[in-house]
Amino acid sequence: MTNISCTLFAVPGASPGPLFLARRALGWLALLLVIGMLARPAAAAESTSFEQAIGHLATANFKQKERAVGELLDARHANTRAVLNALLEGNLYYRKDDRRVFIAAAQDASLRLQDPLTMSDAGTAEASDYTKITTNNQLRKTLKSALASFDLADPDANVRLAAVNELLRSLDADSVSILRARQSSEKNDAVRTAISTGLAIADLDSADAAVRLAAVEQLEGSLNPEAFNRLSALVTKADDGSYAEPDENVRNAARAALNEIDNWRSFYSTLETLFFGLSLGSVLVLAAIGLAITFGVMGVINMAHGELMMLGAYTTYVIQLLMPQHIGASVLVAIPVAFLVAGGVGVLIERGIMRFLYGRPLETLLATFGVSLVLQQIVRDIFTANNRPVETPAWMAGSLQINEAFSITYNRLYVVLFMLIVFAILQLVLKKTSLGLKVRAVAQNRAMAKSMGVRTEWVDALTFGLGSGIAGVAGVALSQLTNVGPNLGQSYIIDSFMVVVFGGVGNLWGTLIGGMSLGVVNQALEPYAGAVLAKILVLIALILFIQRRPRGLFPQKGRAAEN
C-alpha cells in the first residue's frame, strides 16, 4: 500500500514522464480494486438479507410476515418497494416445490413471473404450481405505512402529498411517527400543510384538553375530509346524551371550526357549479354559433344542424381508428377534418335544397328536418345504431386539483378554451376577411349587395358551409363529453335555437353571452329542481323574456333588423 500511495503524487518541479504516468494509473487502479473489495461484502450482505426476508414471507404466519416486512425495510434494497407493493396488491406468490417467491401477474390459468431479486422476467408457469402469499387487515395497514415511508422520500412533491393523504386515512402510532419524522425536513408547502393537518388530527386523541383545543384551532378552515369527519365526531351527541369530546371548550371550538369549514365548502361548491355551468355553456355556444350564422344571415331554420355536429363526432371516431397509436394527436387532426367534412355536406345541402327555398322559412324547416333523418339513417347504415367509443387523450384526462374541495376536470377546461378560440377565429374571419365583409353585407341588405356585384348565391353557399363546418368542430368537442351515436345532435338542436333566440338572431356576441348564461342558470337549478325540471324552468323563463324583448339580448339594428 506504501508503494501505491507513493505513485499517486508527483515530485514538485519534476516533469512527469511516461513511466511516471503509467505508475500513477496503476496506483489508481489498485486503489479502486481495494475499495471495491471492501464494498463488496456490504453489498452482498444487503442482497442476502433482502433474499432471506423475502423467503420468510413464503411460510410465515401474519405476525412473522410483519417482522419480514420490517426486515425488508431494514435491508434497503432497490427492489424493496416493488416487493411490498406486490404483496399489498396480492401479486406475490411462492412456488410449492422450493418455496421460492415471485412477483406474478395472473393470465387465465397461468402466471407471468418476475424475479424479485433482479426484477427480470422469469417466464410463465401453471398457476396450480404456485400459492399466493396472503395478507390480513393488520398486515395491509403495515404495508401501506411502509410504502408511505418510501413515497415520503420521493423527489416528486405530488408523490409525497399522495403518501401523506394515504396515511391520513388510517392514522396510528406508526403513521404519526412517520409524519413527525418527515415534518422538519419537508420543504414543499402543500405537503407540509398536509403533514400538519395529520398531526393535528392525531392530537385530537390526546389526553390533554389543551392539546386537543390547539389541534381543533389548527384544523379550523381545513378542507381535508378526514379533518371534517373527526371534528364532526367530537360534537355529535350519542344516544345517552354524551359527547365523544368531554371538554365543553373543545366542543365549542370544534363547532366554530366546522362552521368555518362549511363556509369554505359552500364557496368552493359555488365555484364548481359556476365552472360546470361555463363548460355546459361552452358546449351550447359551440353548438349554436354555426346556427347563429345560417339563421341570422340567411333566415334558414336548419333542423339538420345537430346532425352536422354528429358528423363531426363520427369524424373524430374515424380519425382515431386511422391513428390508433397517436390518440393524443388524433383529436387535433380531427378538428380541421371535421370542419371540412361537415362544411362540405353543408355546401351540398345549400346548393341542392336550400337555394330553392329562401324566403320560405317553414319549408326550410321541413326540408332540413328530412335531411336530418337521411343523415341519421346513413350513419346507422355505416356505423350501426350502437354508440361508438371515442377515447379521451391522455392530455385531456384527469383533473386539476386546486384543493381538497375543488378540482377542475381537464376535458371541460379544454372545451371552454376551445370554444373561446373558435369564437375568436370566427370573429376575425367575419371582421377581417373579404368573405366576412360580403357575409355582413348580404345580411344587412341582400339586394344592395347584389347590385354592388356581390355574388350572393355563392356567399349563401359559403356561409352555410361555414356554419356547418363550425357545427362539425363542435361535434369534435362533444365526442369528448358524451356518447357518439346517431342521435347525438338531437340533444342539442333545441338548446341551440334557444341560445340564438335569447342572445339575438345573427349576433355572435349575443350567442356567446346567451349560451354561457343559459349554461350557468341550468347548472345552478339542477341540484334543486333536477335535470328535467331545470330545463323546463329555463324554457319558461326564456319564453317570458322573449315576450318582453322579442329580438333577444342584443337585437340587430338598421336594415338588418327591418329584414
Q: Which three cell numbers stand for residue 187?
A: 420543504
The whole-angstrom distance between residue 65's C-alpha and the CA centroid of its chain comes to 38
- For helices 225-235 and 209-219, give the axis angle rounded to 10 degrees: 130
The pLDDT score that the predictor gives to residue 392 is: 85
Is residue 266 assigned to a domain?
A: no
How far, in whole angstroms, is CA 187 from its chain's centroid?
A: 27
Contacts of 22 (CB under 8 A, 6+ apart): none
Say which amino acid occupies 179: L
Residue 166 within a domain: yes
* Residue 431 and residue 394 in one domain: yes
CA distance 337 to 419: 17
DSSP output for 157-204? HHHHHHHHHHHHTT--HHHHHHHHHHHTT---HHHHHHHHHHHHHHHT
Report in angstroms the alpha-carbon separations of 404 from 84, 277, 397.
28, 21, 19
- Any domain includes 468: yes
Q: How distant, in Å, are the alpha carbons of 174, 180, 192, 231 from that of 200?
A: 15, 11, 12, 11
Whether 538 and 427 map to the same domain: the answer is yes
142 occurs within a structural domain: no
Choosing from 104, 137, 170, the residue where a domain stops is 137
The parent domain of residue 210 ranges over 152-246
pLDDT of residue 312: 92
Quote the strand ranges of 6-114, DSSP E: 92-95, 101-107, 110-114
pLDDT at 9: 40
- Cα(521)–Cα(228) distance, integer angstroms: 30
Q: How far apart (Å, rounded) are the C-alpha atoms in residues 143 and 262?
A: 34
Q: Residue 530's domain is classified under what CATH number?
A: 1.10.3470
9: helix, coil or strand?
coil
Question: Do 395 and 353 fall within a single domain?
Answer: yes
363 shares its domain with 489: yes
Query: Is 259 part of a structural domain of the chain?
Result: no
**Residue 79 belongs to some domain of the structure:** yes
Domain closes at, from 137, 163, 180 = 137
Same domain, 110 and 160: no
The C-alpha atoms of residue 433 and residue 427 are separated, in whole angstroms, by 10
Type and span of the H or E element at 406:
strand 406-409
Per-residue pLDDT of the chain (563 residues), as tens digits, is 444 444 444 444 444 555 555 555 555 555 554 444 444 444 444 456 777 778 878 777 888 888 888 887 777 677 888 888 888 888 888 888 888 888 888 877 788 888 888 888 888 888 888 888 888 888 887 787 777 777 777 788 888 888 888 777 777 777 788 888 888 888 888 888 888 888 888 888 888 889 889 998 888 888 888 888 888 888 888 777 778 888 888 889 989 999 999 999 889 988 988 998 898 889 889 888 888 887 766 777 888 888 999 999 999 999 999 988 888 889 999 999 999 999 999 999 988 888 888 778 788 888 988 999 999 999 999 988 888 888 888 888 888 888 888 888 888 899 999 999 999 998 888 888 888 888 777 777 777 877 888 877 788 888 888 889 999 999 998 888 888 888 888 878 888 888 888 887 767 888 888 889 888 888 888 888 887 888 888 888 888 888 888 877 776 654 444 44
- The order of strands in the sheet holding 121-126 is 121-126, 110-114, 101-107, 92-95, 130-132
Q: Choose one of 109, 137, 165: the last residue of a domain.
A: 137
CA torsion sign for 293, 562, 544, 553 is positive
Cα(282)–Cα(289) distance, rounded to whole angstroms? 10
Same domain for 419 and 366? yes
Cell numbers placing 380: 346507422
- State whether 368 and 482 are in the same domain: yes
**Among 285, 304, 296, which Cα is nearest to 350's?**
304
Determine the residue type at 511. Answer: T
Using an 8 Å Cβ cutoff, are 334 and 319 in contact?
A: yes
Nearest to 306 by CA among 460, 466, 474: 474
The CA distances from residue 37 to 31, 382, 535, in Å, are 10, 72, 78
Would you tell me the crossing angle of helices 493-503 and 531-548 to the nearest 10 degrees? 30
Same domain? 464 vs 519: yes
Q: How far is the C-alpha of 264 from the C-alpha of 223, rounded, in Å?
A: 8
Asked if 42 and 78 sit in the same domain, the reply is: yes
Q: What is the DSSP string of 357-400?
A: STT-HHHHHHHHHHHHHHHHHHHHHHH-SS-B--PPPGGGSSEE
For residue 129, being part of any structural domain is answered with yes
Record the cell numbers describing residue 370, joined without a space: 328530412
Same domain, 181 and 289: no
Domain total in the chain: 3
The shares of helix, strand and coil residues in the chain, as percent rounded to the nearest 5, are 70, 5, 25
Q: Kindly state whether residues 169 and 115 are assigned to the same domain.
A: no
Q: What is the pLDDT of residue 39?
A: 42
* Domain shared by 411 and 534, yes or no: yes
- Is 263 part of any domain? no
- The residues facing 407 across adjacent strands are 401
Contact 502, 413 (CB under 8 A): no
